[in-house]
A and B are shown apart, each in its own frame.
Chain A
C-alpha cells in the first residue's frame, strides 16, 4: 500500500503533542519548517500495512495570515500532499476549538475530528452527542484520551477509511442566505481564473473579505484581479451598510453563529458551571497578594535545581576531561598531537558536554511548568514588568532570568513564546544578562583592582547588563523590529498533571537536538581556534607568535580607546568567544604564570588601570556570547542571519559602552 501522510492540527494545549507521541512513539524527528523558526515534528507508524507519516502542525487558533505559525499550518493544508488532517479538539472547550475546524472545512480539507480530554469534560458534566456531531459536520468524529491511548485503534481505522474515501468538508458549511449569496457573486469572478483554483473559490472569497494579506497578494497577480477587487469592494461596502460592521467581523460572527447552532444540537452542559480545580488553584496562584511571591518561589526553585544540581555535574564532567587530558599528555608527551587532542578536541567536546546537565535539567523544569499550565500564569503575573521595561510579552521573563545562569538554556527557553518576533527579540537581548561563566572574569579583575568594593563592582556589572538590555530592546523595536506589536492575548489553559513520558520525551528531544546541531558547530569552532593558536608549527599554544596571537596583536589597537589596547587582552577576548571561563585561563597562560598569585597581579597592573580594568569587564559582559550561544541561536532560528546579527549587535554595544565608560572616566579624572 501507499504511504499515508497526515497532519495533526488543533488549538494549543489540546493534547496534540501527546497524541503525536502516543501514535509515533520514538519514530519521530524534530526539525524546523524550511526557512522558519517554527518547530516541525514528524513521525510515522505502521498500521495495516500502511506507513502513516504524521506531521505535528503548530498549535493555532485560526488560519489567518496573522502569525508565521498559522501560515505554516495553512500552507501545509493547502500545498502539501497530505491525505488527511486530524483535528484535535478539547472536549471542554468545543466552541472555540471548532472555530479552527470551521476554517479547515472552508478549505474543503479531508478531516477527522478527534475529541480529547473527555474524562475531564464528563467530570464537569459536559456531554457531547458524537453521532449528531458527525452528522452535522459531515466528517468522522471520534472520542479519545490521548494520555492513555483510549480510542487510538478506532482513530486509526477511521484514518484508513477517510484516506480511501476523502470528503469535501466544505459541503456542510452554511453561512446563512445573505452572506452565502454574496460570496457566490464573488466566487464567480474568482472562478474565471483557473490559476486561483488550487483552493476552493469560496475560501478565496472568504479570505478576501477578511483582508488576508497573502490571498490579496495572490489575487493581485491574477489576470482578472481588477474585476475581482472591484466586486470585493462593492461587496464590502454593501455588507458594511447592511450590518454596520467590517466584513472581517461579519465572517467571524457567521462562523460563531454556525458553531452556536452545532453546540445547541450536540452538547449538554450543566445549568450552573461547576467550579473546577483550575479555578480554585488560580484563586491562589494568581492572587493579588500571593501571585508574585509564588512566582518568585517557583523561579527560585528552577534556578536552584538547574544550577545547584547541574553545576556540580558540570564540574564533574570538566574534571573528568581534565584528567583525561593529563593522561594523554603523560602518554603522548607534549606534542602537537596531544595538544590537538587536549586543547582542541577535548576542549571542544568538553565544551559541548558540560552544557548538557543544565540543559536537560532546565528543559525538565520548563516542560513541567509548561505542561502543567503554570507557565501561562507566570506570564500573566509578570507581563506588566516586561511590557513596561522592554516592550515584550510576559513569557519573555523566564528565558531572560535563565540567562543569568547560562545564555544557552535561556535562548532555548524562548521556545515557549508563541510569536516569532517576540522570540527573536528576546534571544537577541538574553546575552546581556550576565551569565555565570562571566563571574570568574569579574572575580579575577576585582581581586586585582577593587579589593574594597568587590561586591558593589560586580553588582554594578549585572545592573549595566540589565540596563543595556532594556536600551537595546528599545532600539531594536525602533529599527529591526519596527512596527512590531506584541499583543498579550493568551489562553490560560486548565491545570494538568504533566505526564512523565511527555516531559521526558520533550527533555530528551531538546537535549539531543542541542548535542547534534549546536555540538557540531561548537566542536568545529573549537578546532579552528586550536589550529589558529598552534600555527605556525613550533609556537607555544596561543603565544604572540601564533596566528591567534598575531591577530590579537593586529586588532589590539582597536581596543586602545577602551583602555586595553594590549595584545594579551585581544587574545583573551578571542578565546573568550570559545567560552568565557577561558578568558582568565588565557591570562594565566599568556603570562606564563601557572598559579594566579601575586605575580599575575603585578603583571596585570602593568597592563590595566582600575578604570581600564572596569571597561574590560564591561566589554566581557556585553560582547559576543560564547560559541555555544551562537550555535544555539543558529539551531533555534535555523539560519545564520540571527546569530550573525547577535554577534554584530553585542560587539557594537560592548564597544560603545566600554568606550563611554573609559573615556568618560578619564574626563572625570578616574584615569
Chain B
C-alpha cells in the first residue's frame, strides 16, 4: 500500500459535519459483501460525498452522495478514503 502523506486525505468517518470529499480508495479489509453493496450504492472512486450528521448516540453517520442520503456505521466508513474538497 502506498501511503500518501497528503493531509487532505482522510477516512470518511473522520469528516466533520458539512465537509465534502471525493472517494480516492476503498479498502475492503476482507469484507467483500459490504464493499460490493456500497459500490452499488455509488461509493465508487471519484464520487463526491458530503458528511451530514452523526446519529444522536454517536453512530451511525448520515452522508449524502449522488443526490440522496444514506447512513452507514462508522466502522463501515473507516476503510473509505476521501480527498477533502474545499
Contacts and interface: CB of A to CB of B under 8 A. Distances in A.
A291 B34 CA distance: 27
Contacts of A289: 56
By CB atoms of chain B within 10 A, which of A278, A288, A488 has the most? A488
A516 B39 CA distance: 41
A256 B47 CA distance: 9
B86 interface: no
Nearest to A295: B56
Interface in A278-294: 278, 282, 286-289, 291-292
B70 A491 contact: yes
Interface residues on B, range: 35 or more
Contact of A383 (B33, B37, B55, B70): B55
Contact of A384 (B53, B58, B76): B58
Contacts of A385: 57
Contacts of A210: 36
Contacts of B32: 211, 248
Given A93-B68, A488-B71, A287 B41 contact: no
B72 interface: yes
Interface string A320-361: 000000000000000000000000000000000000000000
A380 B40 contact: no
B65 to A, nearest CB: 8
A387 interface: yes
B62 A249 contact: no
A252 B72 contact: no
A376 to B, nearest CB: 8
A113 to B, nearest CB: 18
A445 interface: no
A492 B66 contact: no
A248 B33 contact: no
Contact of A248 (B31, B39, B45, B76): B39
Given A96-B68, A488-B73, A286 B56 contact: yes
A218 interface: no
A379 B76 CA distance: 16
A488 B39 contact: no
B59 interface: yes
Interface string B8-49: 000000000000000000101001111111111110111100
Contacts of B44: 249, 252-253, 256
Interface stretch (A37-45, A58-66, A192-200, A468-476): A58-66
Given A248-B35, A381-B55, A492 B70 contact: yes
A387 B71 CA distance: 14
Interface in A33-72: 61-62, 64, 66
Contacts of A287: 56
Interface in A464-511: 485, 487-492, 494
A95 B56 contact: no
A62 B42 CA distance: 11
A64 B35 CA distance: 12
A397 interface: no
A64 B70 CA distance: 20
A315 to B, nearest CB: 38
A278 to B, nearest CB: 8
A109 interface: no
A288 B54 CA distance: 8
Contact of B55 (A211, A273, A384): A384
Contacts of A245: 45
A292 B59 contact: no
B55 to A, nearest CB: 6
A96 B42 contact: yes
A282 B63 CA distance: 12
Contacts of B59: 383-384, 387
A282 B17 CA distance: 14
Nearest to A290: B56
Contacts of A273: 67
A384 B59 CA distance: 6
B33 A487 contact: yes
A92 interface: yes
B77 to A, nearest CB: 10
A383 B57 CA distance: 9
A393 to B, nearest CB: 10
A307 interface: no
Contacts of B38: 489
A363 interface: no
B40 A488 contact: no
B43 to A, nearest CB: 9
A241 to B, nearest CB: 15
B37 A489 contact: yes
A273 B73 CA distance: 26
By CB atoms of chain B within 10 A, which of A66, A92, A385 has the most? A66
Contacts of B71: 380, 488-490, 492
By CB atoms of chain B within 10 A, which of A64, A92, A210 has the most? A64
Contacts of A490: 70-72
Contact of B41 (A61, A94, A485): A61
A381 B36 contact: no
Given A95-B66, A286-B53, A249 B39 contact: yes
A99 interface: yes
Contacts of A292: 56-57
B59 to A, nearest CB: 5
B21 to A, nearest CB: 17
A34 B69 CA distance: 34
Given A66-B36, A485-B31, A491-B68, A380 B62 contact: yes
Given A66-B36, A291-B55, A249 B70 contact: no
A348 to B, nearest CB: 45
A297 to B, nearest CB: 14
A288 B47 CA distance: 27
Contact of B73 (A66, A282, A383, A494): A383
A92 B39 CA distance: 20
Contacts of A96: 41-42, 66-68
Contact of B33 (A66, A249, A282): A66
Contact of A95 (B34, B60, B67): B67
A286 B55 CA distance: 7
Contacts of A94: 67
A252 to B, nearest CB: 4
Given A381-B56, A487-B33, A492-B71, 6 more contacts: A66-B37, A252-B40, A252-B44, A282-B69, A380-B60, A489-B76
14 contacts: A66-B36, A210-B36, A245-B45, A249-B39, A252-B40, A278-B69, A282-B69, A288-B54, A291-B56, A383-B60, A384-B58, A387-B73, A488-B73, A492-B69
List the 6 closest pairs (A to B, CB-CB), nearest first.
A62-B40, A291-B56, A252-B39, A384-B57, A492-B69, A95-B66
